[in-house]
Amino acid sequence: MALSKIDVSKMITGVTPLTNGGTGGTSIPATNLASGVTGTLPVGSGGTGLTSGTTDQLLKFTGSTTLASSAISTGKIGQVVFNQGTVSGSHIVTTSTSFVGTGINQGITCSATSSKVLIEVYTGMMASNTDDDVRLAIYRTAPTNNNLSNATYGAAQFRIEAGTGGTNYNGTTFSFIDSPSSTVGQIYEVYMRSGAGASAYFCQVNGMYRLTCKEILAW
């Protein structure tokens, strides 16, 4: 049986790599990892992997084996604005049994309609008669005037009763979370009233007060 002659030169094209270095007849171009590789790297045990991310993001599981990037926005404080100082005459006084404005207010404009606003009030209060009380409420006075302590908005109201003899000075911290659902500027003001008509005092500790508004990003 005759053997056929095989022409190896017609079966192999290109350059065969040389061991221990060497140049060969032509060069093999290097792969540019910055521009020559696209797509998503595989993830062990399945999944899709990540293709991109941005500043201030974190990794979270979206399934039992899948990771995804997510913005850190839940419950984060977006901004803080405040109004602090002292009132003329060392205090504000009223005998009204209906809420009246104190003139102490602070505006804030939320960055998103999903944000909430944490309102914090710090001051001193005093009721002049035994068994009477001072009551505070947070009003959202702009763009419309709403008493946030009514049934529609929740219990944004605080009260403190006088002690024996009616000389009860109190450093008071009072807070409430509002949901304005708007990116239009809001103004919050402290209102006050007497429980039964005796003199009720606000900013009683040297006339000092602080009203703080904090935007809480959506949670």
User: Tell me, what DSSP letter sits at residue 129?
Assistant: S
CA geometry: angle 84, 82, 123, nearest 5 deg: 45
Distance of CA 148 to the CA centre of its chain: 21
Q: How much of the chain exceeds pLDDT 70, in percent?
A: 55
Query: How far apart, in whole angstroms, are the C-alpha atoms of residue 204 and residue 192?
Result: 13
pTM over 0.75: no
Residue with tokens 């703080």: 212
Query: How far apart, in whole angstroms, are the C-alpha atoms of residue 123 and residue 174?
Result: 9
Q: Which fold has domain 77-216?
A: Jelly Rolls (2.60.120)
Domain boundaries, the chain: 77-216
- Residue 172: pLDDT above 70? yes
Q: What is the mean pLDDT of the chain?
A: 75
Q: How confident is the model at residue 199 (pLDDT cuts 50, 70, 90)?
A: confident
Q: For residue range 75-126, what is the model confidence (pLDDT) as tens digits?
A: 789 999 999 999 887 788 999 988 899 999 999 999 999 999 999 999 888 7
- Residue 153: pLDDT above 50? no
SS3 (DSSP) at 28: coil
- Residue 23: pLDDT above 70? no
Q: Which pairs count as long-range contacts for 144-150, CB under 8 Å and 24+ apart, including other chains?
A: 147/99, 147/191, 148/176, 148/178
Q: Is residue 121 within 8 Å of residue 173, measured between CB atoms?
A: yes
pLDDT at position 111: 96
pLDDT at position 88: 80
Q: For residue range 50-77, what is the model confidence (pLDDT) as tens digits?
A: 556 666 566 665 665 555 666 655 678 9
pLDDT at position 151: 40
Mean predicted confidence (pLDDT) in 143-161: 62
Q: How confident is the model at residue 41 (pLDDT cuts 50, 70, 90)?
A: low
